[in-house]
């Protein structure tokens, strides 16, 4: 237990420099990009005096290192600042949009894990057959497909041609979320309210974006599961199990797959960052009201504090997901604690 606690504390401390580096890079990249929030607010034809006055009001005319040190001090006090455009605390839109992105990313991760691991295990079981070659080809092709293109194709097929699934939003027009919203996670809120019709509507709206997001990343898990399971199936205890006459399905999917899951769980923590990044494009494609759309809107408006706040929050979520996976990894394999 002592070693596990020390391991968790070490991982938490390593999160601090990661967030600091991310914050620093985003801060300076935003400042060197063309355009500024004052021009976005007042327009390109505003008088120079008005522009300079607004810059002084927002603190944008100070030296960049002073702005950077002030922002660091704000973050250290857990204050993400105030939106330059809408004059509201940065944390407010983040609190409203973060649950939608987390709901989409977690559902996408679950689909990725189940679908990718199943196909990878099946490919390992059918090694050097047509099924194996087909699944390996799928893993390569699906990872190369842009997530927004896949989303558009799903919208066209299932939303337009077949007309069986909604193509935008988190709920339908007849579901009034404000009546039961508590946590911001619609799947949880509708179940807490025992509104099963609304729960079904939320699930239906979640299918296309989460499957789109999950499919693209599933290719990694197909190849990883297949490679690790093939190594495990060469182990002595697997040979002994087969020699005792244990059915092949039980050997592969119960004994072999269980021992091949450790590196797969580790990869899930790394790929969660890719899922969060892919959510930006997925949310834009499906009009999903999450952090991705918020980030895109504020980039267009050059709303520096909100952009920085969104990036910090995404970095913290990814770091937390990686930490949880590492803890799970340490519980499964005690050797990593030392």
Using H for helix, E for strand and C for coil, what is the string for the chain? Answer: CHHHHHHHHHHHHHHHHHHHHHHHHHHHHHHHCCCCHHHHHHCCCCCHHHHHHHHHHHCCCCCHHHHHHHHHHHHHCCCCCECCCCCCECHHHHHHHHHHHHHHHHHHHHHHHHHHHHHHHHHHHCCCCHHHHHHHHHHHHHHHCCHHHHHHHHHHHHHHHCCCCCCCCCCCCCCCHHHCCCCCCHHHHHHHCCCHHHHHHHHHHHHHHHHHHHHHHHHHHHHHHHHHHHHHCCCHHHHHHHHCCCCHHHHHHHHHHHHHHHHHHHHHHHHHHHHHHHHHHHHHHCCCCCHHHHHHHHHHHCCHHHHHHHHHHHHHHHHHHHHHHHHHHHHHCHHHHC
How confident is the model at residue 255, as a pLDDT?
78
Closest by CA to 64, choosing from 307, 326, 319, 304, is 304
Q: Looking at residue 158, what is its pLDDT?
A: 93
CATH class of 94-294: mainly alpha
At residue 261, the pLDDT reads 79
Residue 134 pLDDT: 92
Count CB neighbours of 112 within 10 A: 27
pLDDT tens digit at each of 338 positions of the chain: 666 677 777 777 877 887 788 888 888 887 877 766 777 676 667 777 777 787 777 777 888 888 888 888 888 888 888 888 788 888 999 988 888 888 998 898 888 888 888 899 899 888 888 998 999 999 889 888 888 899 999 999 999 999 899 988 888 877 766 666 678 888 888 888 888 888 888 899 999 999 998 888 888 889 888 988 888 888 888 888 888 888 888 888 877 887 787 778 777 777 777 777 777 778 888 988 888 888 888 888 788 888 888 888 888 887 787 777 777 776 766 655 55
Q: Are 105 and 275 in contact (CB under 8 A)?
A: yes
- Beta-carbon neighbour count of residue 12 at 10 Å? 12
Among the listed residues 257, 261, 222, the one whose alpha carbon sits nearest the alpha carbon of residue 238: 257
């Amino acid at each position: 237990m002592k070693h596990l606690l020390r391991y968790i504390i070490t991982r938490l401390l390593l999160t601090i420099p990661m967030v600091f580096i991310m914050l620093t890079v985003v801060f300076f990249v935003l400042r060197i990009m063309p355009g500024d929030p004052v021009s976005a607010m007042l327009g390109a034809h505003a008088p120079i005096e008005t522009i300079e006055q607004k810059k002084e009001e927002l603190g944008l005319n100070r030296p960049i290192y002073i702005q950077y040190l002030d922002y660091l001090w704000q973050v250290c006090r857990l204050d993400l600042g105030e939106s330059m455009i809408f004059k509201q605390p940065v944390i407010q839109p983040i609190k409203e949009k973060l649950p939608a992105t987390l709901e989409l990313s977690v559902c996408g991760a679950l689909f990725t894990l189940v679908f990718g691991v199943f196909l990878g295990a099946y490919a390992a079981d059918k090694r050097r057959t047509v099924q194996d070659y087909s699944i390996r080809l799928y893993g390569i092709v699906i990872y190369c497909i842009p997530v927004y293109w896949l989303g558009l194709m799903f919208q066209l097929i299932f939303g337009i041609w077949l007309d069986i699934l909604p193509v935008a939003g988190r709920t339908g027009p007849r579901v009034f979320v404000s009546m039961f919203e508590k946590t911001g996670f619609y799947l949880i809120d509708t179940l807490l309210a025992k509104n099963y019709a609304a729960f079904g509507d939320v699930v239906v709206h979640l299918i296309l974006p989460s499957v789109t997001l999950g499919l693209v990343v599933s290719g990694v898990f197909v190849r990883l599961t297949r490679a690790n399971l093939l190594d495990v199936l060469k182990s002595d205890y697997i040979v002994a199990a087969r020699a005792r006459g244990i059915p092949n399905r039980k050997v592969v999917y119960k004994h072999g797959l269980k021992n091949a899951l450790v590196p797969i769980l580790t990869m899930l923590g790394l790929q969660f960052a890719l899922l969060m990044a892919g959510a930006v494009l997925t949310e834009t494609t499906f009009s999903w009201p999450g952090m991705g759309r918020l980030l895109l809107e504020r980039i267009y408006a050059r709303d520096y504090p909100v952009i920085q706040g969104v990036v910090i929050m995404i970095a913290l979520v990814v770091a937390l997901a990686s930490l949880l996976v590492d803890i799970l990894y340490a519980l499964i394999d005690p050797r990593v604690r030392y």
